[in-house]
Amino acid sequence: MAATVRERLEHILDATANIRTLLAEKSIDSLRTEPVTRAALERFIEIISEASRHVPSELKAKHPQIAWIDIANIGNRLRHGYDMVDERILWDIYAFDIDALDQAVTRMQDET
């Protein structure tokens, strides 16, 4: 059975929480020197990307501050261009984008 929109939103929130746990006490250097940390971060971002693809566009349109197209595209980049993804991009997602995404997704849950 396919996941509901609410479940997809919960998947996003779970992944962002896992990213915070994973990277607490870490630095960008961890992504360069700890391949398991990098792989886990990439997987959590892939989950966010895939889950976002199943959120209706009309719901996403209510939250234009989130770069939904970029979120969808990063999953493809991680799957197909994995060897060309700079760790700075991954770190910046954690450092600058996760909080806003969490806030938007939490509001979206209230809207569904």
Q: Is the pLDDT of residue 34 over 90?
A: yes
What does pTM read for this prediction?
Answer: 0.94
Question: Binning pLDDT at 50, 70 and 90, where does residue 32 land?
Answer: very high
Q: Is the pLDDT of residue 112 over 90?
A: no
Summary mean pLDDT of the chain = 96
> For 57-88, how does the pLDDT look when each residue is reduced to its tens digit (9 = 90+)?
999 999 999 999 999 999 999 999 988 899 99
What residue spans define the domains of the chain?
A: 5-111
Burial of residue 26 (number of CB atoms within 10 Å: 0-12, 13-18, 19+): middle
Helix and strand counts by DSSP (H, E) for the chain: 7, 0
Q: What is the pLDDT of residue 59?
A: 96
* Distance, first Cα to last Cα, the chain: 19
| Cα distances (Å, whole numbers) of residue 13 to 9, 32, 81, 106 | 6, 25, 25, 8
CB atoms within 10 A of CB 90: 20
